[in-house]
Amino acid sequence: MARERGFDLVLISPDASPPVARIADIGKLKYEFNKKEKEARKSQKGGGLKEVKLSPKIAQHDFDVRVRKTREFLEKKNKVKVSMFFRGRWMAHVDLGMETMNKLVEQVLDLGRPEGGPKKFGKNFVMIISPK
């Protein structure tokens, strides 16, 4: 029957009793299988790491944009790396930068929690926020 129709006879489950076979186009079956596999990998990707950069002298609107982006990332179940860089004389005002970071954490506390306090890496302070 498969030859008459111009298709292939595909063995689906050879171990079953009786064995299960299907008349189908093998190329189309492989394509659909690969497509399903790709979709499964795509949906499995959640939990990546996104980064939001701040500075101690950030303007209010820019800060609001960073908060909104952080909230979006946390809603998508991504971890967020909040980094703040200090240049030159800004290093004398680390306390102002920490206030800004803590303010951001307070704004997103309903969606995520920090994995620890800010850590210093050279001239940067870094904090990771995990989704709830």
Per-residue pLDDT tens over the stretch 58-107 = 999 999 999 999 999 999 888 999 999 988 888 888 888 889 999 999 99
Q: Say if residue 110 is in the same domain as residue 91.
A: yes
Q: Say if residue 56 is in the same domain as residue 113.
A: yes
Return the structure tokens found at 65.
């944009």
What pLDDT does 14 receive? 86
pTM over 0.85, yes/no: no
Is residue 46 over pLDDT 70?
no
Q: Say if residue 62 is in the same domain as residue 121.
A: yes
Split into its structural domains, the chain has a count of 2
Q: Say if residue 71 is in the same domain as residue 93.
A: yes
Q: Say if residue 105 is in the same domain as residue 56.
A: yes
Beta bridge partners of 54: 84
CATH number of the domain within which 63 lies: 3.30.110.10
Q: What is the mean pLDDT of residues 100-122?
A: 90
CATH number of the domain within which 27 lies: 3.10.20.80
User: What's the CA angle centered on 124, arms 68 and 75, to 5 degrees?
Assistant: 25
Nearest to 27 by CA among 49, 46, 6: 6
DSSP state of 48: -
What pLDDT does 13 receive? 87
Mean pLDDT taken over the chain? 89
3-state secondary structure of 109: coil
